[in-house]
Copies of this chain bind each other. A is one copy, B any other.
């Protein structure tokens, strides 16, 4: 087992921790105090900028999305890059807002021609096989999970794994090791029809409620909203079946979705995340599981991985 120190600290989540003598910092205070070296810039090439039509007061509504880095869901993410580069999403709309579930967007007419170059991704890509050569240095355990053997962070994303994932990569068991991304709040998935359809990436949704983990391994997870989720989560709920809007007037127009790398340099957003391999993250995760800051009287002794969102912020000095 080659689990790094940060992982072992995080794994201690499930055990009761001693109460420190001084008031303990809140998770947000731990994040604010993290040294610059614990933050990692998100490549601009992994960002999408979605511009909705202005709100009723004429105020711009922008949402920034981070696409998932390899190894997960890369077939769909390639399609999304193709669709965004072709400006295909421009003029589509938000068509569905279901309370405690999802906001979904795409072509309401279902007649818009697709750009060339989209691939059909097989269902087995919902899960990821463990690479033989994987050194596994960035799998950070969180521990107990209701939906899988293990919940963990892998390359700074919440994933679920089978127990075999945690053994040495040259172990025979690793052949059956599997992992898959988790549907936490703010995660983005790919709408699809009935199996064997897996969706192209033209129809997307984000989670605006309690993590709908039953969708894990049934739909591709391709990214997360890192800024502006409130522009989606506070939209009026649709009154049709599954929260679809019943009239065209209710839909919210999408002016554009752009790869950030296509924007002029001065308009490109820059974000950074707190490395899940850092000591700061381990302390943050521990504090999410065991609140000892003054408001709390009883630390929980554990945390659901979706209650440990990876801290993301505008790049400092960027």
Contact = CB atoms under 8 A, between A and B. Distances in A.
Contact of A56 (B56, B194, B235, B295): B56
A194 B100 CA distance: 30
**Copies in the assembly, this chain:** 2
Nearest to A212: B307
B297 A214 contact: no
Given A210-B307, A236-B234, A307-B212, A217 B298 contact: yes
Contact of A210 (B56, B185, B229): B185
B185 A301 contact: no
Contacts of A126: 298
Interface in A197-217: 209-214, 216-217
**Which of A212, A213, A230, A237 gathers most chain B CB within 10 Å?**
A230
A112 to B, nearest CB: 23
A99 B230 contact: yes
Interface string A274-294: 000000000000001101001
Contacts of A195: 294-295, 297
A302 interface: yes
A312 interface: no
Nearest to A306: B210
A57 to B, nearest CB: 10
A293 to B, nearest CB: 10
A42 interface: no
A146 B100 contact: no
Interface of A: 56, 97, 99-100, 123, 126, 144-147, 184-186, 194-195, 209-214, 216-218, 229-230, 233-237, 288-289, 291, 294-304, 306-307
6 contacts: A97-B234, A100-B186, A210-B304, A214-B291, A214-B299, A214-B307
